[in-house]
């Protein structure tokens, strides 16, 4: 029965008041949300492309991935730049809440809450609230990676951050 590993540091982010986490070791940096270059034919979970330090990366719409209501980009939104197994991606989130240090206990069996959900690596209980730990490697499929490799070559003028 998988549970979240609480011996690792997590960076927490917010979507509609719900807390989510990603292992801190996967986070490259956090930046303010900026204009994103749309990609025709991209999957619905992808907002477009962004140039981070000379590297064009896909921007993932965490609201669509996590089945949250859509809304316009806000000045307070942030981008988490994270490493997956295959590439670097940006995750658009409402805000970054900070680092969640290693904890003893607080683990919730994943199968009792979200059976069969491949995007969630585990769940932590913190002061009566649940933190859903994301599996960032599950956000892009192999076919979506191919779409972005092709789009990156076709959009050399993507604005830099």
Structural domain includes residue 1? no
**Which CATH number do you get for residue 29?**
2.40.50.180
Which residue, chain included where needed, has tokens 């962004």?
Answer: 50
pLDDT of residue 4: 43
- In this structure, the strands spanning 107-108 and 88-93 are unpaired
Please give, one letter per residue, the 3-state secondary structure of the chain: CCCCCCCCCEEEEEECCEEEEEEHHHEEEEEECCCCECCCCCCCCEEEEEEECCEEEEEEEHHHHCCCCCCCCCCCCEEEEEECCCCEEEEEECEEEEEECCCCCCEECHHHHCCCCCCEEEEEEECCEEEEEECHHHCCCHHHHHHHHHHHHHCCCCCEC
Per-residue pLDDT of the chain (161 residues; tens, 9 = 90+): 344 445 678 899 999 999 999 989 999 999 999 888 888 878 888 898 888 888 888 899 999 888 889 998 899 999 999 998 888 899 999 999 999 886 655 666 555 555 455 667 777 777 778 787 878 877 665 566 566 566 556 655 554 54
Structural domain includes residue 18? yes
Total number of domains in the chain = 1
pLDDT of residue 134: 77
pLDDT of residue 114: 53
What's the chain's Rg over C-alpha atoms?
16
Structural domain includes residue 98? yes
Structural domain includes residue 68? yes
Structural domain includes residue 2? no
Instruction: Give the range of the structural domain holding residue 126, as residue numbers without chain letter.
Output: 10-154
CA–CA gap between residue 51 and residue 156 (Å, rounded): 9
Structural domain includes residue 4? no
pLDDT of residue 129: 80
């Amino acid at each position: 029965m998988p549970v979240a590993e609480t011996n690792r540091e997590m960076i927490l982010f917010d979507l509609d008041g719900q807390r989510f986490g990603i292992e801190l070791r996967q986070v490259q940096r956090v930046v303010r949300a900026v204009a994103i270059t749309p990609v025709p034919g991209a999957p619905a979970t992808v907002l477009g492309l962004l140039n981070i330090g000379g590297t064009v990366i896909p921007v993932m719409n965490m609201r669509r991935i996590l089945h949250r209501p859509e809304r316009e980009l806000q000045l307070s939104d942030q981008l988490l730049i994270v490493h997956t197994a295959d590439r670097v991606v940006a995750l658009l989130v409402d805000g970054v809440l900070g680092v969640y240090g290693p904890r003893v206990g607080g683990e919730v069996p994943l199968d009792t809450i979200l059976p069969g959900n491949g995007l969630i690596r585990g769940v932590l209980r913190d002061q009566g609230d649940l933190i859903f730990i994301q599996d960032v490697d599950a956000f892009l499929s192999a076919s979506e990676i191919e779409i972005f490799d092709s789009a990156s070559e076709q959009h050399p003028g993507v604005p830099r951050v």
